[in-house]
Amino acid sequence: MGSGGLFTWWNTDVLGQDRFCGDALDSSEASTVLSGFGRLTQSGYYEESEPYYSFSCKVQRTSKFLGGDQPRLEAELSFDEADFGLGGSRLWKNASASSYFVGGTTGAASETQAWVLLPTGCAKEIRPGSRHADVPVLKMSLTRGRSNPTALAKAAMAAAQHVADGLGCTGTSALKMPARLQGPTGETDTATPCGVKGFRIPEAALFKGKAEAGTALVTGRGSRTRVCEMMLQGPGEPRITLAVSDDPAVTQGVRRDETATQGSGRTVTACASGDLYVGVSFNDAYRDVLLDQGKDAYETARAALFNSFQQAVGNDYGCPTRGE
């Protein structure tokens, strides 16, 4: 092989693998997510069915001629709360910046992450260390690079279908690519935060010079799950994340969790039109602001925020709600 052919072999996918991760991903899906130069290679692949089913895999661009770290795609089966991706956790930040699935299965994708809730009724769903309320989730993350959310969603769906088969899930016909993705619609003003009629930030939740009203980023109404992130003005960028969903995959999953109550900031309420999930969470900066005010102030602010948002979205969805 000449020097030109060797360069082509090492720097492209010519004569490379057709599929990766135990046939979970084909080369075109991986290549679309991992754009750029370098050859696609697989590492860290693990799939086992005994004593319980597990799956993880990494695909990365590598090159003998390009310096620096190349983009890497990681996929894994995890077991989490059904609303794990809606609360702005440390690993899954900025939920309002994700694009949520419309039609098909339940999931979301951003430029660097994607997740898909797998169908319930998996024969091997429960594993040691999992809680009764945990649901199987296919998670995918992209490091050292960015991708189009649609491309990441497609790759995550392919991996999710593979993992669902490994888990022995029933009802996998519902695990299909969404018709489209619904992303953020932009910032809303302080008069109508989150674009929810009747919702206002309670005065008890604002503190002069520490956490004052700012802007909010909200996802569109096309998806059954909507997330709003309120970016307050204050040191450390305090933020409040609010989520609402009438997606059965979310509401049924959260209903299995006995810790999901209004006091915990996440609950499911039975409404005339069906179950409605409401979740309110804080980032560390806002939590610190509340704790600095004392326990009573913290509880007052938390309850006021939750009640205000729950009542407003309940009305918005045509099913007035009250705290459980």
Q: Distance between CA 33 and CA 274 in Å, rounded?
A: 37
What gap in Å lies between CA 185 and CA 195, rounded to an integer? Answer: 10
User: 35-60 pLDDT, tens per residue?
Assistant: 877 888 899 899 998 888 999 999 99
Read off the pLDDT of residues 68-121 as tens digits, 9 standing for 90 and up.
577 899 999 999 999 999 986 767 778 999 999 998 899 999 999 999 999 877
Q: Would you state the structure tokens that stand for residue 58, as one six-digit string?
A: 């990494």
Nearest CA-CA partner of 25 in 53, 60, 51? 60
Average pLDDT of the chain, as a whole number: 86
Q: In 174-241, which ranges are continuous DSSP H helix? A: none
* pLDDT at position 11 over 80: no
Burial per residue of 224-253, b for 16 or more beta-carbon CB atoms within 10 angstroms, e otherwise = bbbbbbbbbebeeebbbbbbbbbbebbbeb
Residue 155, both tokens: 């790759």
Cβ atoms of 277 and 268 closer than 8 Å: yes
Give ∠ CA 83-88-93 in degrees, rounded to 5: 120
Question: Percent of the chain at pLDDT above 90?
Answer: 54
Residue type, 43: S
In the DSSP assignment, the letter for residue 277 is E
As a whole number of angstroms, the distance between CA 256 and CA 120 comes to 12
Residue that the structure tokens 């190349």 belong to: 70
Q: What are phi and psi of 10, to 5 degrees?
A: -75, -25
Alpha carbon distance 181, 268 (integer Å): 24
CA dist., res. 125 & res. 63, Å (int): 39
Asked if pLDDT for residue 184 goes beyond 60, the answer is: yes
Structure-model confidence comparison of residues 142 and 192, the more confident one = 142
